[in-house]
Amino acid sequence: MTDIQLMEEAKKARKNAYAPYSNFAVGAALLTEGGALYTGCNIENAAYGPGNCAERTAFFKAVSEGERSFAKIAVVGGAEGSDPVEMCAPCGICRQVMREFCDPESFEILLQDGKGGVVSFTLGQLFPHGFGPENLGR
Ligand code: THU
């Protein structure tokens, strides 16, 4: 699957966003090393705190299905009803969740580049010097 195709899957997943409080809809498409696809959207809550980001929805779906090896994730977000082109970078909690399961040197995060294209970062670029399983001897 190409980076553009993965971003298209993220856009499709974004249509399911449940974001009645922020009205900011996010979609994510996570590709495993084995080529399986897991998508996610943000899911908000009246109590605010329980809300979940699109990236973590995708990761938790995948991990709960037994997946442990991930290649890349595409993320797209913006005001509900719009067709966003601006970059929507993962929040700090989502970067920490990625750090648990992904190699900072090779895992890729694909984002909108603001010009209608896709730009790729490694997890290490967006989350340098992170705390991970190795710190606990894992
Ligand atoms: N959100 C995500 O789902 N992913 C991101 O990368 C940034 C923020 C969600 C959380 C919340 O539902 C809404 O966007 C506004 O913060």
Ligand 1 close to Cβ of residue 57 (< 6 A): no
For residue 26, the ligand 1 atom closest to its alpha carbon is 3
Ligand 1 close to Cβ of residue 79 (< 6 A): no
* Domain 3-129 CATH assignment equals 3.40.140.10: yes
pLDDT at position 73 is: 99
Flag residues of the chain having pLDDT under 50: none
Rounded to 5°, the CA angle 47-49-53 comes to 120
pLDDT at position 124 is: 98
Ligand 1 centre to CA of 18 (Å) is 11
pLDDT at position 88 is: 98
Taking the C-alpha atoms of residue 136 and residue 138, their distance in angstroms, rounded to an integer, is: 6
For residue 19, the ligand 1 atom closest to its alpha carbon is 12
Q: Largest Cα–Cα distance in the chain?
A: 46
For all residues of the chain together, what is the average pLDDT?
Answer: 98
Question: Per-residue pLDDT tens for 21-51?
Answer: 999 999 999 999 999 999 999 999 999 999 9
pLDDT at position 79 is: 98
Q: Taking the CA atoms of 50, 61, 6 and 121 in sequence, report the sign of the dihedral they define.
A: positive
- List all residues 6 or more positions away from 108 whose beta carbon is below 8 Å from its beta carbon: 71, 72, 73, 120, 121, 122, 123
